Amino acid sequence: MSHSTALYERTLGERVLHALSFEVLAVLVSAPLLAWLLGKPLAHMGALTLMFSGIAMLWNMQFNWLFDQVQRRFGFQRGLGARLGHALLFELGLIGLLVPLAAWWLSIGLLEAFFLDIGLILFFLPFTMAFNWGYDCLRARYLARRRAMQACR
């Protein structure tokens, strides 16, 4: 496998690690923040963020696999524009999945849940972009180190 191909090949295990890392950090940050902002009990908001997390994790794995397929086909680099597009498309997909759940769980209307979701998107857009960029940088270092170790054998 060539160096450039290795950057886009990810195993199911790595996809699970990526998604779990993202979601654990997201829940740890967002549950207390939402409980405070909405004046709801932490347990109530924690349960909602865990449900959001489960849905988002499955979407994350599927969306990132699709994004990798598009990148492999068109060969673009993951610069600022691609990363911004990645984050925007990912979050737009979540709107359709999470708004009805938030409306039901919080006993609010769909429009209120939509505005809550917009607030979450404004938080998670930079969070998603920074997390994925950091993950990719750490992954590239790991792969380079692994290639160097294999070359020494």
Write the CA distances from 64 to 29, 72, 148, integer angstroms: 22, 12, 27
pLDDT at 135: 93
Check pLDDT > 60 for residue 7. no
Question: Is the pTM here over 0.75, yes or no?
Answer: no
Phi-psi region at 39: left, alpha or beta (left = phi > 0; alpha = psi -120 to 50)? left
Pinpoint the alpha helices (H) of the chain: 3-8, 12-38, 42-74, 80-106, 110-151
Residue 96 belongs to domain spanning:
3-151
Tokens 């009805």 -> residue? 100
For the chain, how many structural domains are there in total?
1
Contact present, 97 and 59 (Cβ < 8 Å) = yes
pLDDT band at residue 37 under the 50/70/90 scheme: very high
